[in-house]
Structure 1
Amino acid sequence: MAKTVRKRTIRKRVNRRKSKKSNLKKYILSMSIAVCLGIAAFFVIKGFFEEPESFDSSKYFVKGIDVSHHNPILNWDNVMEQDITFAYLKSTEGTTHEDRNYPFNYDLARKSNIKVGSYHFYTFALSGEEQAKHFLKTAKFNSGDLIPAIDVEHSPANPYSKDKEFVGTVVKELKIMENKLYEHFGVHPIIYTNRDCYKLYIKGNFPKNIIWMCDLHNEPSDDVNNWKIWQFSHKGELPGVDGHVDLNYYRYTFNEFKELLLP
């Protein structure tokens, strides 16, 4: 009788050891799967949030950049060597601010035969008419330049708000500025914006304006009416150019690109 009990005890110990080994294998397998999924998720998220540093599209061929005083004055001959077709330069902001690098970048870029355009950073709290006057007085506009652009985005000076009265005022003054530029040039200015500001201020209010859309993760959809320029990175790197520059594509062909030029 004692031998039988002993055999049963030994069998239980063996079964426990096998159970422990089995549980350990399952734990290791689960941890391995979790680690693999974590690594895969990291690279997916990293790829989504990481901005391109160069032009690598096989779909778009008309390349452009935009710069302001946040960038140094560029060596525009080097820029031209990178097959950059166009460049937008910040000239003004609000009713008094002038970009300190604008006059130098404008003249140097034109000498390098890059198609140049000027843009104004729109300030929500100020008169649209006064902002238009400031832009027209300060910026340079020549035949063959890009159609002037208005930059509409949130910033410390342009707070985000869904308040209907606030949004209505932003749109009203923007329409005044847009109309002043239209009267001056005979063409509607281009509007630069992003997804949030497009939905709040632009959509349905400016049907005749070409849209220059900033989207750092996805190509603009056809829900954005009349988008023609896509800013896809704030971290572009160009050989011979110090620091990061914003990278853009024109949506269509070199021949159709002429639609962006002042007569």
Structure 2
Amino acid sequence: MAARTWKRRLGFAALALAALAALAGALYAYALQWRPSIEQYPLQGVDVSHHQGEIHWPSVKAAGAEFAYIKATEGADHRDTRFAENWQQSETAGLKHGAYHFYTLCRPAIDQATNFIATVPREEQALPPAVDLEFGGNCAARPSRETLIADLTSFLEMIEAHAGKPAILYVTSEFEDTYAISRGIHRTLWLRRLFLPPNYGERPWVMWQASSVRRIEGIEGPVDWNVVRP
């Protein structure tokens, strides 16, 4: 009797595990296709770098992307190897495009701005430049808040003079918790929170990075998906 009961329990456990695995698979498949409601957020788009490889931009446009933020530079001397290609081809495909810089905490702000200015064409119709502020992939340096605010202000003044328009701050919640950037520098906020609207920052976000795993035609592998607040 005990052996029969034990076998029955094992059977129930196996069924439960199989159901959980199937549910997890279904949720993952849904996440790969999910994006915020087009009715609520009509303007949606991607941000990309060389990590996405060769991109077929007409397919990205057909997948619902109206704009693209394209990585141009990182730090004081790195230039994204696919920036020029993505910049030209996204425009040809009919997407609005803007360039972004990954700001490193261990290089002088003026050198970083010089790198960005030398890489990104000055185009009146381009979207505002963006600066990526996050700890992931950054160096180990952690300057004081006063130092970072001063350096970042210098960086922004230089790239904004080049672009002819105010920049956008892409800030993760961890970076904001540490430096309170949105309180120290008043610029448009582009915030990240997967699947749920961001709930941090000193003022309402204008752009939301809603997914980092979306799969679309034209890009092999996952891509960041963003929306603009109406």
TM-score when normalising by structure 1: 0.72
Q: Match for residue 53 of structure 1?
A: 32
> Alignment length, in residue pairs?
226
2:75 counterpart of 1:97 = no
Task: Write out the 4+ residue segments of structure 1 that deviate beyond 6 Å after TM superposition.
Answer: none
Match of 1:173 among 143, 146, 151: 151
Distance change (3 Å), C-alpha of 1:97 and 1:249 = same
Distance change (3 Å), C-alpha of 1:241 and 1:182 = closer
Deviation of the 1:141 alpha carbon: 3.0
CA contact (8 A) 1:60 1:250 kept: yes
Deviation of the 1:76 alpha carbon: 0.7
SS at match of 2:52: coil
d(CA) in 2 for partners of 1:51 and 1:149? Answer: 30
TM-score when normalising by structure 2: 0.82
Deviation string 1:6-42 (CA, Å, 9 cap, x unpaired) is xxxxxxxxxxxxxx9xxx9xxx99xx8xx97xx88x9
When structure 1 is superposed on structure 2, of 145-154 and 213-222 the one drifting more is 213-222
Any residues of structure 2 matched to 1:98-177 within 5 Å, and which? 98-159=79-140, 166-177=144-155
Percent of paired sites with the same residue: 27
Any residues of structure 2 matched to 1:5-84 within 5 Å, and which? 52-58=31-37, 59-84=40-65
> What do you get for the CA RMSD once the two structures are aligned?
3.3
CA contact (8 A) 2:35 2:210 kept: no
Distance change (3 Å), C-alpha of 1:138 and 1:56 = closer
Match of 2:168 among 179, 182, 190: 190
Deviation of the 1:217 alpha carbon: 4.3
Deviation of the 1:160 alpha carbon: 7.6
Match of 1:204 among 165, 180, 183: 183
Q: Which runs of 5+ in 1 are unaligned?
A: 1-19, 253-263
